[in-house]
Structure 1
Amino acid sequence: MAAQLLVLPVLATGLTSCGDPIDDYCQSLKGHQAELTKTLGEGDTGGLIAALPVFEDLERNAPDDIAKDWKTLTTAISGLDTALQDAGVSPDDFENGKPPEGVGAAEAKKIADAATKVSSTKTQEASVRVQQQARDVCHTSLTL
């Protein structure tokens, strides 16, 4: 999958009293880097869901050029988290992609649909753009 390079918008105004939004975002990203590395290392789906609060924080702090991509990621992961919670299961409860006993067909479909959204091309492309922007603009490695 080819990564699309994002062009950092030229800021026409000076720094505001709240600071440069890009610098603030980069500091937030760097501040969460160790936590993300640890959390995402815990496992595929479980790690993504555990990292959701950090992703939501980064989305809130994201500059305009990357905010939509963060929204795509957090929406997809949040949807899967909700589907799992509604069914009363965790990602660890699944064996070979099969839901545990007691999960009804409707719940299983909702989980499968949400998981498909997380792994969709749209979500994966957003992930690539977020990671590329972290490297290019913030000079920080971010692996999702």
Structure 2
Amino acid sequence: MRRSGSARRRRSSAAAVVAALLLAGFSGCGEDDPFADYCAEVEEQQKPLSEAFAGGGPTALIEALPSFQALQEKSPGDISDEWGLLVGRIETLVEALDAAGVDAATYDRDAPPEGLSDDEKTAIDAAAGELATPATAAALEGVQQQARDVCKAPLSF
């Protein structure tokens, strides 16, 4: 039995579509992983973050800020809001401390340094308070979870 020309063309077209799909799938394997830069940064920042949080002191988040900023810069879109919230809140605290001329390592809220105005103390308290909110805790958990799930590397805070 002889096949018609249209049946051969359909088979040929179907084979071409399958070949194109297979090639597209294989070429996707060679493309850069959209998370590669971020995951490389996660690995690079693991040691500095561990060191910043090792003592568990009150300045750990401030000490971690350069690492957090580097991670924020490389963060993929699905976690950029969390990094933005976290980095923004730490930067706000640093700005409030700097504006008041206060050293974060020696600042004692209950015994503020002489010359600290009520407005400066209020700004520091407000910025520090924002770091203790559920939204900040959720952002911290989100970035840690992303690192574990996508990069298979923990970020320990």
TM-score, with length taken from structure 1: 0.82
Q: Work out which of the two has the higher radius of gyration on C-alpha atoms and give 1 or 2.
A: 2
Match of 2:69 in 1: 56
Which of 107, 113, 132 is the matching residue for 2:126? 113
Q: Work out the CA distance in 2 between the residues paired with 1:14 and 1:88.
A: 53
Report the CA distance shift for 1:97/1:121 in structure 2 as closer, same or farther (over 3 A): farther
- Residues 59 and 104 in structure 2, CA contact (< 8 A), matched pair in contact too: yes
* Cα displacement (A) at 1:16: 8.8
Distance 1:142 1:117 in 2: 21
Matches within 5 A, 1:6-85: 14=28, 19-85=32-98
Amino acid at match of 1:135: R
1:32-90 deviation per Cα after TM superposition (whole angstroms, max 9, x unaligned)? 10111002224443121121111111001001111110001000000000000011112
Residue 9 of structure 1 is matched in structure 2 by none
Unaligned runs of 5+ in 1: 1-11
Query: For residues 116 and 44 of structure 2, what CA distance do their matches in structure 1 show?
Result: 38
- Identity over the aligned pairs, expressed in percent? 36
1:48–1:77 Cα contact (<8 Å) kept: yes
Judged with a 3 Å threshold, the aligned counterparts in structure 2 of structure 1 residues 115 and 98 are, in CA distance, closer, same or farther, namely farther
Greater RCO (CA < 8 Å, at least 6 residues apart): 1
Q: Are the equivalent residues in 2 in contact too, given 1:93–1:99 (CA < 8 A)?
A: no
Query: What code does the residue aligned with 1:102 have?
Result: G
Q: List structure 1 segments (4+ residues) > 4 angstroms apart after TM superposition.
A: none
Cα displacement (A) at 1:97: 4.5
Instruction: Map 1:85-124 onto structure 2 (within 5 A).
Output: 85-95=98-108, 97-124=110-137
8 Å Cα contact 1:93/1:100 also seen in 2: no
Equivalent-residue separation in structure 2 for 1:97 and 1:134 (angstroms):
37
Q: Are 1:134 and 1:142, in contact at CA under 8 Å, matched by a contact in 2?
A: yes
RMSD: 2.2
Gaps of 5+ in 2: 1-24
Structure 2 length as normaliser, TM-score?
Answer: 0.76
2:105 maps to amino acid: D
How many residue pairs match? The answer is 132
